[in-house]
Structure 1
Amino acid sequence: MNTDIVTLMGERQTGYSLPGPFYSDAGIYRLDTDRVFGKLWMLVGHVSQIPEPGDCFLAEIAGESIWVVRRDNDEIGAFYDVRSHACHVLVFEGLIFICLAGDSPPDVGPTLQEMAPFVKPQNLAGARVIHETVLATDANWKLVVENFWECNHCEPSHPEFMTVHDRNWMLAMGAGLGACVSEQAAMDYQGKFEAFEERAQQLGHPFGSASKLGLASTEFWQVLRSPLAEGCYSETRDGKKVGPLMGDLNDFDGGMTHISFNPLASLWLCNDHAVTFNFRPMGPMSTDVHMMWLVDGDAEPDKDYTVEDVAWMWTATGLQDKTITENNQSGVNSSRYQPGPYSLMERQLEDFVQWYFARLRETGNGS
């Protein structure tokens, strides 16, 4: 690793944002490609996008073009565009992941086993993609990740998001599992959270949380079920129901499931639809933000749902995040930029930085 990068890592103050070059330098981006996202399982799509043998789609990540195809034996394969070289591929509950690692890819089997009980009841494997969008964002991938992994900006920046999420949730848990920036908010929220978990349990729905984050961890993932705002059933306009229940769910429980597979891939599940997020680094200051919406495989368009209703909240929020992140890139590009301290609401960003630095230091596979 370049000695200048080692020096930058050593000079970085704990609890502060990264030095400017980490958000723009081409050499650091090349190292990121080799050591970080080049060894992650990257979420690229869903099996419903390639329903028949021979169907395929192209995924572009960090200068690589990967064809994802359904083979004649119905299995999912992935291949580099420039040569007949296979790419590692993994399918989890219908979601398709690829890994650019040249040798053995990381083993995420144990992690996916912990996540499976939160996903299986919604039969995501039998769901269907109804809408996709790509937000070409002029910002380094780490700025995109940092924005997604904190909610300090949510109340002033995301009015649509806040109509369906409890402000006390944001203050009590919006900084991460076990986090609390307001004891009063936590006390006010606790009763609602317990009532939600009791209802979920009565319905036979999943509840609880699991995670592996923080210092010295080679992994960075979490699962959390939590209630939506009072009277809301889904992350939609006015919190209304916008489609039939997914999979084997018995009733609307007023909650949602947040799953992050790694810093670049996440899944949000409401009872009637799902949204995936995958951040694809395209250059030192360029990241494609892919969002994909799914509903139950038997749901009929215009009869059971409309794309506008299902995609309303995250369409607005995604565009707002694009603006925020691009403004942040302009800020760190300034000659006057100095790393600043993370707030209590941004505590998980320190976990992310420590995970990131650990990946830069290692030469083998992680997860």
Structure 2
Amino acid sequence: MSDSVPVSLSALIRRRKPGYSLEAPFYTSSKIFERDLEIIFGRHWIYVGVEPDVPEPGDCMVVDIGRISVVVVRDDSMAIRAYHNVCRHRGARLVHEPKTTVGNLVCRYHQWTYGLDGNLMFAEHMGKGFDTSCHNLKPVHLRSLEGLLFICLADEPPSDFDGMAAALGPYIAPHDVRNTKVVKEVDLIEPGNWKLTMENNRECYHCGGNHPELTIPLFAYGFGYAPEEMDEVQREQAGRYACMVRDYSAAWEAMGLPSREIEHLDDRITGFRAQRLPIDGEGESQTMDTKVACRKLLGHLTNPKLGGLTVWTQPNSWHHFMSDHIVTFSVIPLSPEKTLLRTKWLVHKDAVEGVDYDLERLTEVWIATNAQDSELVGYTQEGVRSPAYEPGPYSPYTEMLVEKFCNWYLARLAAHLDDRHAV
């Protein structure tokens, strides 16, 4: 459906058939893309990075979401703050590099100078009656979930962040994100709509045929399967996996590591899911040999065989926490048909490259997997452009969580729409 056809977005939402993919305009329309930026990314908690992105006072990180630029900075008291990356004089961008270190935030244009607390400290030639306190940087809501950083661009953010933090905090805390460091960051531009990137992540139906590296450590059975369609060998493997989940989960829980699935993907404004699952082979890490890639384990962990903790948050993140390293993923829309996937790898802050870890070995599984997924997203984007495309049925065994993502997305859109919004 072209952008020129005045169809109500509310009507598109109402006529969506449960259990089926979304209609083409949700993936191609520039007007729906603008609504996504305004409503989904403009009114919800968005995952943007980790506390170790800004480890020391004066360290800054810039995050761009649509036309909005945000600077995240650690101040002199070690608190982390976020501001709109806009000078209060004539609007010039303050911080231009993705990451940098500053003493103060100084506008290059006319040298208006702000402290790390956002207060305007210096503005030359503005006259004796000029009140600097009326021109401080505009703050952006920021919260940390055990070291994972979320921002909200709305004046009033969703009030349920504390509920998510209370549920997910005990799962994440043992991995001690705050005492890690980012050892690699990769930005990948995927050739598709951001929702296709997210939908692809929310299922492993495609894993067996497309991810030879990932399926070495990862059991696809952890994300659903159709038992009546399995042969004898597959049933045996699935049974072995079920026993592993039961036995390992009990052992991990006894160690004080929450492991059972908690899932609120489509019944809360700030949706989330977490579960600790076994890793195949040696059972240690998401690596090609399934052994730890970093000999210095995270936090106070001493047992390398802790499987992989998967954490998802709506609308734009997923994370894998192992005993030795963490991989985090942030999805940012760039255009109706281009999406930024930002991946970070973290290890213990005291780990030494070449001594405790080999960077290539640490990153090779997800570098390969991301490239494969990007190609699949591109294939799908090409298909949804076709007049022949119509919504197809999700597998009730393997794509249940894709359905929950779509349910969440449509419900959050609908909560802020009226019939004047056309696509």
Per the normalisation by structure 1, the TM-score is 0.91
- Quick check: 45-54 or 312-321, which moved more? 45-54
The one-letter amino acid paired with 1:64 is I
CA contact (8 A) 1:293 1:311 kept: yes
Per the alignment, in what secondary structure is the counterpart of residue 205 of structure 2?
coil
One of 279, 282, 295 as aligned partner of 2:347: 295
Query: Match for residue 107 of structure 1?
Result: 160
One of 146, 157, 178 as aligned partner of 1:93: 146
- CA 351–104 in structure 1, closer or farther in 2 if over 3 Å, else same: closer
One of 273, 277, 293 as aligned partner of 1:226: 277
CA contact (8 A) 1:141 1:280 kept: yes
Unaligned runs of 5+ in 2: 1-5, 88-136, 229-234, 418-423
Report whether the alignment pairs 1:335 with 2:387: yes
Report whether the alignment pairs 1:282 with 2:327: no
CA distance in 1, matches of 2:59, 2:279: 38
One of 378, 403, 422 as aligned partner of 1:350: 403
Larger radius of gyration: 2
- Quick check: 149-158 or 82-91, which moved more? 82-91
Query: Match for residue 64 of structure 1?
Result: 68
Question: How do 1:204-243 and structure 2 match up within 5 A?
Answer: 204-214=256-266, 216-243=267-294
CA contact (8 A) 1:126 1:296 kept: yes
CA contact (8 A) 2:140 2:151 kept: yes
Query: Match for residue 314 of structure 2?
Result: 262
The one-letter amino acid paired with 1:340 is G
- CA 154–143 in structure 1, closer or farther in 2 if over 3 Å, else same: same
CA distance in 2, matches of 1:209, 1:338: 33
CA RMSD of aligned residues (A): 1.9
Query: Match for residue 191 of structure 2?
Result: 138
Shift of 1:105: 4.4
CA distance in 2, matches of 1:59, 1:78: 10
Shift of 1:217: 4.1
One of 39, 42, 50 as aligned partner of 2:46: 42
Query: Match for residue 223 of structure 2?
Result: 174
Shift of 1:37: 2.0
Per the alignment, in what secondary structure is the counterpart of residue 164 of structure 1?
coil
Number of residue-to-residue matches in the alignment: 354
Shift of 1:156: 0.3
CA distance in 2, matches of 1:32, 1:263: 10
- CA 79–254 in structure 1, closer or farther in 2 if over 3 Å, else same: closer
Greater per-residue helix proportion: 1
Query: Match for residue 84 of structure 2?
Result: 80
Shift of 1:186: 4.8
Report whether the alignment pairs 1:33 with 2:85: no
CA-to-aligned-CA distance 1:210-245 (integer Å, 9 cap, x gap): 11134x543421010110113231001211221121
Shift of 1:19: 0.6
Query: Match for residue 248 of structure 1?
Result: 300
CA-to-aligned-CA distance 1:56-104 (integer Å, 9 cap, x gap): 1211112211111111222111111224321111122222221111334
Shift of 1:122: 1.6
CA contact (8 A) 2:160 2:269 kept: no
Query: Match for residue 116 of structure 2?
Result: none
The one-letter amino acid paired with 1:174 is F
CA contact (8 A) 1:139 1:287 kept: yes
- CA 106–61 in structure 1, closer or farther in 2 if over 3 Å, else same: farther
CA distance in 2, matches of 1:85, 1:359: 26
Per the alignment, in what secondary structure is the counterpart of residue 163 of structure 1?
coil
The one-letter amino acid paired with 2:385 is N
CA distance in 1, matches of 2:157, 2:404: 26
Query: Match for residue 206 of structure 2?
Result: 153
Report whether the alignment pairs 1:313 with 2:365: yes
CA contact (8 A) 1:219 1:355 kept: no
